[in-house]
Amino acid sequence: MSVEYREDRKKWGYRFYLAGKCYKKYACETKTAAKQAEEEAKVEARKNPGLQPTALVKAAGAYLIESAERGRSKWRIDGLHYNFKAHIIPYFGEATLITDITPKQVENFIADLKRKGLMNKTVKNIIIDLRAMFYWTMESRDDGGPGLLDKNPVTKKVAKLIGSIKAVKKAINPKWFDIAAAAIKNRRDRAWFDVTRYLGMRLDESNRLQWSDIDWRVGKVRIPGTKTPEAEGWFASCSRSFGDSERSV
């Protein structure tokens, strides 16, 4: 229904789509007034069709509407809307025809995003959305006609320019462990902390550690498996290997 009442604004208004663009306004006191305003807005919109259907802002709007109609989740639609509004459309321009966008321009777009300091993972998500829109414009129309594009300018070669999206964690300074240990006043807690940090144990492993798990004669510590007996491990006190299920310290 195009005419509706907004409870949050306490106003009547309208919302309709024309040529891939959404027109909406909620400022009327009555439903009748909102219906009249909608009719006037439709007449005005038809008089001023504005940008061509192949303009980027038009194609992006139509793609978002189609994505919603195909049942994509709200968070996905919101993500698409944000990436187009915040990054893609401001860079290429609203009136830029999608048929004029080249792989070289997409390369420059990626470089611009990286210069802004965006993480490679974020850049990849933006480029995925851009590529998906282009693939959508390549689909055949409902009337059987050809799509708006023949080739997608976001090629695999271009996408490789994004780089690795694997996060690189900073190395831990060993001195931080000494500082943390010095702050522990309880001797039992300090012992637990030292065993954990010097043997490299996980939290659940150290919590299950028993005196019977320590073999003082050969200098080994047994860590029971978390799920199956085969998953148990041994910590050795020297660097020589004791098998695949052992860790050396």
Print pLDDT tens along the chain (249 aa). Answer: 578 998 888 999 988 777 556 778 889 999 999 999 999 988 887 776 566 778 899 899 989 998 998 888 989 999 999 999 999 999 999 889 999 999 999 999 999 999 999 999 999 999 999 999 999 988 866 555 567 788 899 998 888 889 887 877 778 888 998 999 999 999 989 988 888 888 877 788 888 888 888 888 888 888 766 656 666 677 765 444 433 444 444
Give the C-alpha separation, 82 to 60, whole Å: 11
Single pTM value for the model: 0.52
3-state helix, strand, coil in the chain (%, to 5): 50, 15, 35
Neighbouring residues of 81: CB distance < 8 A, sequence distance ≥ 6: 64
Give the C-alpha separation, 141 to 147, whole Å: 6
Q: Is the dihedral of CA 186, 189, 195, 198 positive or negative?
A: negative
DSSP secondary structure string, 89-119?
HHHH-TT-BGGG--HHHHHHHHHHHHHTT--
Given a contact cutoff of 8 angstroms between Cβ atoms, the answer to whether 129 and 183 are in contact is no
Query: Coil, strand or helix: which one is 207?
Result: helix
Query: Coil, strand or helix: which one is 31?
Result: helix
Residues 56-162: name the CATH superfamily. Tyrosine recombinase, N-terminal domain (1.10.150.130)
